[in-house]
Amino acid sequence: MKSKNKLPKLSPILSDWMPKLMKDKMLLDTLFGDWGSPLNVHYLPEFDKNIQKFRKVFENHRIPYQLFYAHKANKSKSVVNRAKENRIGVDTASERELLQALEVGVSPELLVITAAIKTEKLLQMAVENNVLVILDNQDECDLLNSIAQKTDKQTPVGFRVSGFYTDTGKLYSRFGFDIDEVESFIVTTCSPKGKYSHLTYKGLHFHLNGYSTEERGAALSQCFFLAEKLKTQGFTSQFIDIGGGVLINYLKSKNEWEIFREELKKAVKGEREEITFNNDGLGYQLIDNQIQGALATYPFFNEENDDIFLEKILNFRYKNKASVSELLRNKNIEIRLEPGRSLLNQVGITLARVAFRKKDMKGRWLVGLEMSMSQLKSSSADFLLDPLTAFVPAPNHPVEVYFTGAYCLEQDIVLKRRITLPNLPQIGDIVGFVNTAGYMIHFFETQAHLFHLSVNLSIATSKESYQYQDFNNF
Ligand SMILES: Cc1ncc(COP(=O)(O)O)c(C=O)c1O
């Protein structure tokens, strides 16, 4: 028998600026009047705080370091500018990202190109501006060397490494050179008389899928041992870049997270009413009356995130020997971290206007938003978090709703979770998704039906309120 229990809550962590903005009706009216829906609003002092947290960890460990903001995580120019003001580097993944960072005035020594596909034009820009290129394969080496040769310039390069050894075997990645082969490749090709005489070896790089600190610790240790071997052959590593992928925590309560997962399983089993659109299991499946599979979402609640995550990598002991931190101390190798998502934690929210309310055939309230599913999409099966609302609740009129989007697809359900709102919103009311503008919206957003990409704005604090600061799309 299906019971109708209350919907579980997933309360997001909120920085002070977020609820304040949601209460500032005048500012919201101005922003929507000027720019339409949806809007990404950023508050950049949070970015500065995130930088400080990572800095502190490296400094406590007395390890030379540099942070590189992974630009791909957010399209806005003002975040790149903020990286420059904080004197950190910028990791670029395309011609336009590199161009934007150069235009903003980031110094070429603080730039790196890690693009998965490196066009001839991008590599030409790298050679002209003396920007470090992280090489992934031999074809890239051929192309970059030939471009550098034409202008007789030496180009700084690093090598992306993969195939690291872990307790569960060798780690697969489609990226990079295998750790077992890269040493002889560098030594034979990058010497003055080698095939790539115009490439100057500077260091090693990796970026791992997933969120394991143990795998990152093992990869960093193996890169360190590789750097030691390369040194004996005349190749000094100035840096080891450990990529990004630092976990962040979105939720206030572990209890809510656990209850949500239990209630979702109950719903999939048919023991309670649905809590997701059409009872989507978000990875859980009912097979032979048993729940199978795993929740296919980001681990929205987790305890080893941000600075603790980095701390765990540095304290990791590969094969139970010296810790990463002990290995690296006094070694004169700069450790580079390339965070995207984690530098943008608490930096942005996405706001959308309510276009309509209606009941569907099954009697469920659908609230149409002026945005599309692509704007909250990621590799996670749903964004899940409770949204913020910018309207005064009428007491005792709670209502359960689904938010639907602007695409012609039945599947355009902006949040798959069923949400309890204090009351049914009015047309024109504003709903806010916490922590998505910093990161999420910039990845899978599409322009189907000729909709514009969402606008990116920054706000700044004045004496009593927040003020719109700049429009910083690209
Ligand atoms: C090479 C590289 N560096 C850094 C990042 C940033 O990762 P994150 O945003 O998870 O920190 C990525 C993301 O895909 C990447 O591919």
Q: What are the pLDDT digits (tens) for 365-408?
A: 999 999 999 998 888 999 999 999 887 777 778 999 999 999 99
Angle (deg, nearest 10), helices 138-150 and 120-129: 50
Domains held by the chain: number: 3
**Nearest atom, ligand 1, residue 160 CA:** 1
Distance CA 82, CA 472 (A): 12
Q: Inform me whether the pLDDT recorded for 425 exceeds 60.
A: yes
Both 54 and 70 in one domain: the answer is: yes
Q: Inform me whether the pLDDT recorded for 220 exceeds 60.
A: yes
Predicted confidence at residue 465, as pLDDT, reads 60
Residues having CB within 6 Å of any atom of ligand 1:
70, 73, 91, 114, 207, 243-246, 338-342
Both 277 and 212 in one domain: the answer is: no
Both 70 and 219 in one domain: the answer is: yes
Residue nearest to atom 10 of ligand 1 (CA): 245
Q: Inform me whether the pLDDT recorded for 3 exceeds 80.
A: no
Average pLDDT over residues 69-75: 95
Residue at 319 is within a domain: yes
CA angle 220, 221, 226 (to 5 degrees): 95
Predicted confidence at residue 330, as pLDDT, reads 85
Residue at 165 is within a domain: yes
- Span from the CA of 249 to the centroid of ligand 1 (angstroms): 17
Residue at 94 is within a domain: yes
Both 225 and 111 in one domain: the answer is: yes
Distance CA 416, CA 410 (A): 12
Residue at 9 is within a domain: no
Angle (deg, nearest 10), helices 77-85 and 45-61: 40
Predicted confidence at residue 18, as pLDDT, reads 94
Distance of CA 101 to CAs 131, 226, 344, Å? Answer: 11, 31, 17
Cβ atoms 123, 143 nearer than 8 A: yes
Q: Inform me whether the pLDDT recorded for 213 exceeds 60.
A: yes
Both 222 and 268 in one domain: the answer is: no
Burial 394-417 (b: 16+ CB within 10 A, else e): eeeeeeebbbbbbbeeeebbbbbb
Average pLDDT over residues 435-444: 81
Burial 282-311 (b: 16+ CB within 10 A, else e): bbbeeeeeeeeeebebbbbbbeebbbbbbb
Both 164 and 268 in one domain: the answer is: no
- Span from the CA of 130 to the centroid of ligand 1 (angstroms): 22
Average pLDDT over residues 185-202: 96
- Span from the CA of 43 to the centroid of ligand 1 (angstroms): 22
Both 236 and 92 in one domain: the answer is: yes
Average pLDDT over residues 28-54: 95
**Strands (E) located in 338-429:** 348-359, 365-369, 388-389, 399-404, 419-421
Predicted confidence at residue 437, as pLDDT, reads 79
Predicted confidence at residue 463, as pLDDT, reads 54
Residue at 239 is within a domain: yes
Cβ atoms 343, 436 nearer than 8 A: no
Residue at 6 is within a domain: no
Both 321 and 442 in one domain: the answer is: no
Pick from 94, 118, 212, 338 the residue to mutate for probing ligand 1's pocket: most ligand atoms within 8 Å of its CB: 338
Both 333 and 389 in one domain: the answer is: no
- Span from the CA of 69 to the centroid of ligand 1 (angstroms): 9
Provide the mean pLDDT of the chain.
94
Both 336 and 195 in one domain: the answer is: yes
Residue at 61 is within a domain: yes
Pick from 47, 69, 72 the residue to mutate for probing ligand 1's pocket: most ligand atoms within 8 Å of its CB: 72
Return the CATH number at 152.
Answer: 3.20.20.10
Relative to beta strand 419-421, strand 155-162 is: unpaired
Of all residues in the chain, the percent with pLDDT exceeding 70 is: 96
Both 438 and 331 in one domain: the answer is: no
pLDDT tier at 461, thresholds 50, 70, 90: confident
Average pLDDT over residues 58-84: 96
**Nearest atom, ligand 1, residue 73 CA:** 9
Residue at 4 is within a domain: no
Owning domain of residue 457:
17-43+347-471
pLDDT tier at 470, thresholds 50, 70, 90: low
Q: Inform me whether the pLDDT recorded for 4 exceeds 80.
A: no
Both 67 and 156 in one domain: the answer is: yes
Distance CA 124, CA 120 (A): 6
Predicted confidence at residue 378, as pLDDT, reads 84
**Nearest atom, ligand 1, residue 246 CA:** 11
Residue nearest to atom 12 of ligand 1 (CA): 244
Return the CATH number at 354.
Answer: 2.40.37.10
Structure pTM?
Answer: 0.95
- Span from the CA of 41 to the centroid of ligand 1 (angstroms): 22
**Nearest atom, ligand 1, residue 114 CA:** 1
* Listed residue (54, 72, 28) closest to 242, CA to CA: 54
Residue nearest to atom 16 of ligand 1 (CA): 207
- Span from the CA of 151 to the centroid of ligand 1 (angstroms): 31
- Span from the CA of 341 to the centroid of ligand 1 (angstroms): 8
Pick from 97, 207, 378 the residue to mutate for probing ligand 1's pocket: most ligand atoms within 8 Å of its CB: 207
Predicted confidence at residue 5, as pLDDT, reads 80
- Span from the CA of 114 to the centroid of ligand 1 (angstroms): 9
Q: Inform me whether the pLDDT recorded for 159 exceeds 80.
A: yes
**Nearest atom, ligand 1, residue 68 CA:** 4
